[in-house]
């Protein structure tokens, strides 16, 4: 795995990992993940410690919004990439005690077949995760915990009390335009919790920043 760039985003703990594609007249070859390379990188300590136990694939039609999902017991970190199409990733900080608690990020992740690199976004435990799609898209994500239906919840991506002040303005505009136009979204996601409702829920203490371990 040739890591060409690791870029921390505006919320501590969220990183983009860019890796090389090796191109020739046939197309390209890439090694998207190698544990030893990740573990040796000085900016990827948390990811290097991660043990992936589940791989998910998701197909979404254009104008779909998914999320914002999270679980505990076991905690689930996610390493996410776009296989085909155009995804914008959504991340919301739910770590109690964090200086960015309740703040959300948007990160643009289109698949560009002619690019000389591709990338992952690393979303560790303590964050709610989702995405929206500007074209028909397929994504995959490795998870550090197996799905636990009794220990999951979600913040509605439409919740009015999400603080998007750290989001890139152009992406936030696209997101709000999609919301206004009537997105494809499940009833479960649409009716998810607000940040305030989750904060008041006793279960939210499972994401206390002192309980999540080193970053």
Q: Which residues participate in catalysis according to the annotation?
A: 69, 141
Q: How far apart are CA 43 and CA 9, in angstroms?
A: 12
Alpha helix positions (H), the chain: 35-40, 45-49, 169-181, 187-190, 195-200
Question: Could you count the other beta carbons within 10 Å of the beta carbon of residue 57?
Answer: 9
Q: Are strands 117-123 and 78-84 parallel, antiparallel or unpaired?
A: antiparallel
Q: How far apart are CA 125 and CA 206, in angstroms?
A: 10
DSSP string, 151-195: GEEEB-TT-TT-B-TTS-HHHHHHHHHHHHH--B--HHHHT-B-H
């Amino acid at each position: 795995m040739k890591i060409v760039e690791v870029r921390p985003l505006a919320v501590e703990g969220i990183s983009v990992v860019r890796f090389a594609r090796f191109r020739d007249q046939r197309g390209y070859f890439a090694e998207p993940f190698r544990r030893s390379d990740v573990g040796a990188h000085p900016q990827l300590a948390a990811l290097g410690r991660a043990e992936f136990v589940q791989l998910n694939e998701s197909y979404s039609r254009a104008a779909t919004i998914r999320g914002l999902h999270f679980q505990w017991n076991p905690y689930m970190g996610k390493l996410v990439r776009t296989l085909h199409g155009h995804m914008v990733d959504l991340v919301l900080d739910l770590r109690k005690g964090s200086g960015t608690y309740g703040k959300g990020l948007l990160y643009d992740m289109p698949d560009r077949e002619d690019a000389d690199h591709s990338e992952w976004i690393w979303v560790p435990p303590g964050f709610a995760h989702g995405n929206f799609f500007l074209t028909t898209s397929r994504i995959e994500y490795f998870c550090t915990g197996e799905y636990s239906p009794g220990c999951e919840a979600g913040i509605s991506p439409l919740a009015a009390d999400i603080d998007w002040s750290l989001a890139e303005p152009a992406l936030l505009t696209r997101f709000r335009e999609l919301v206004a136009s009537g997105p494809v979204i499940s009833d479960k996601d649409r009716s998810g919790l607000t940040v305030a409702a989750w904060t008041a829920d006793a279960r939210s203490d499972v994401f206390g920043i002192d309980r999540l371990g080193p970053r």
